[in-house]
Amino acid sequence: MPTILFDENISGYASLLARILFSPAWDEISRSFDVRLATYDDVGLKPGTTDDQLWEFCQANRIYLLTNNRNEDDPLSLETMIRTRSLDSSVPVFTISDVERLRFERDYAENVAVKLLEYLAAEDNIRGAGRLYLP
Amino acid sequence: MATVTRDFGRSTFWLFASFMGDTIANVESIMKTETITIVDVGRGPQLSTSRITVQDLLPFYRDQATNDEIRRWMPSLGDEEIAVLKDYLREHLDEALRLEQQIKAHHDRLRSMQPEWVRSSDDRPLEERKRALMEKLAQQKMRTSGADDSVR
């Protein structure tokens, strides 16, 4: 059962992606993969959870984190976690390439959703991939 | 630096304070407030109260979006937090715009370095990609039922 956790700064996009993933066009596939979308509240994370805590939480619970493009210079940033702590068995982080387009372009949003499904369909092959972009 | 102080549970407290006097009221007020500031913990300037950064608000600031529109996408933001972010952007807009370009360039570079298989389906029509996903599902179901049969 793949769970996709929306980062705190994009939690409002969960309903938008849910509308696409569970639309008549994609519902059968999403349900067959048993895709779950979650926010911080759903998984009991507090606002302001640091990147390293978030990384550990997602790995411990086998949850896919969904983020947008961020500036990541800090030694404890997600980027550093991916570079230094990622193992062949690690769950990758999904990053939306252009979150602004997601807001305004239905085609782009559908592409993000489909790319997500394609990654989940290849779940065994994407472990250890670090960061994967949508689309 | 832009800061705002947010009070919690003030009305409830005043019921109690009416019995205990102003001294306790002052102590309680200090204990139950949270100062919202802009901090940098390695992701660029962000709220001290959440993971939301100045960069997250920048597109909405540019579009002059209302607080309700901003909350549609970042529902955890309160009016005070939005005000702190907007104040910061007013004072540091050029810096924020420069950082936005740097972040975009960094992720464009990382994205271009992803292996070919990751991008192999991107240009195919959605219908074709849907068929491929359905086929994959069917294969997975067959494997699962095969495994179930072998257990029996």
CA distances from A30 to A23, A35, A108, B65, B134 (A): 9, 6, 18, 33, 11
Could you report how far apart the first and last alpha carbons of chain B are, in Å? 69
Alpha carbon B142 to chain centroid distance? 40
Q: Out of B44, B50, B137, whose CB is closest to A48?
A: B50
Measured between CA atoms, the residue of chain A closest to residue B112 is A133
Average pLDDT over residues A89-107: 95
Q: Which residues of B touch A (CB under 8 A)?
A: 41-44, 47-53, 55-56, 59, 71-76, 99, 102-104, 106-107, 110-111, 114, 118, 121-122, 126, 129-130, 132-134, 136-137
Residue B144, CB half-sphere, CA atoms under 13 Å: how many?
A: 7
Nearest to B133 among A10, A121, A131 (CB): A121
Model confidence pLDDT, tens digit, residues A15-36: 999 999 999 999 999 999 999 9
pTM recorded for the entire structure: 0.84
Q: Which of A135, A46, A55 is nearest to A93 (CA)?
A: A55
Q: Which pLDDT tens digit goes with each residue over A122-131?
A: 998 999 999 9
Considering only CB atoms, which chain B residues are within 8 Å of A76? 41-42
Distance from C-alpha of A116 to C-alpha of A7, rounded to nearest angstrom: 15
Q: B105 to chain A: nearest residue by CA?
A: A69
What length does chain B have? 152
Report angle CA B50, B53, B56 to the nearest 5 degrees. Answer: 120
CA distance B35 to B37: 6
Q: Tell if the CB–CB gap between B52 and A13 is shorter than 8 Å.
A: no
Q: Which residue among B55, B107, B126 sits closest to A110, beta carbon to beta carbon?
A: B126
Residues A25, A23: Cα–Cα separation, whole Å: 5
Question: Testing the interface with B: which of A6, A8, A9 to mutate, by most B Cβ within 10 A?
Answer: A9
Q: What's the N-to-C CA distance of chain A in angstroms?
A: 22
Q: Which residue has the tokens 């309700």?
A: B68
pLDDT for B35 beyond 80: yes
Count CA within 13 A, CB hemisphere, residue B22. Answer: 0
Write out pLDDT tens, residues B72-123: 999 999 999 999 999 999 999 999 999 999 999 999 999 998 888 888 888 8
How many of the other CB atoms lie within 10 Å of CB of B8? 10
For A25-28, the CB contacts below 8 A with 24+ separation are A25/B130, A26/A113, A26/A114, A26/A117, A26/B130, A28/B134
Q: Which residue of A has its CA nearest to B125?
A: A111
* CB count in 10 Å sphere of residue A2: 17
Do B133 and A49 count as a contact with CB atoms less than 8 A apart? no
Backbone angles phi, psi at A38, to 5 degrees: -140, 150
In the predicted structure, residue B32 carries a pLDDT above the cut 50? no
Lowest mean pLDDT among A40-49, A79-88, B7-16, B24-33: B7-16
- Enter the ipTM: 0.89
Q: How confident is the model at residue A120 (pLDDT cuts 50, 70, 90)?
A: very high
Give me the residues paired with residue A37 across strands: A4
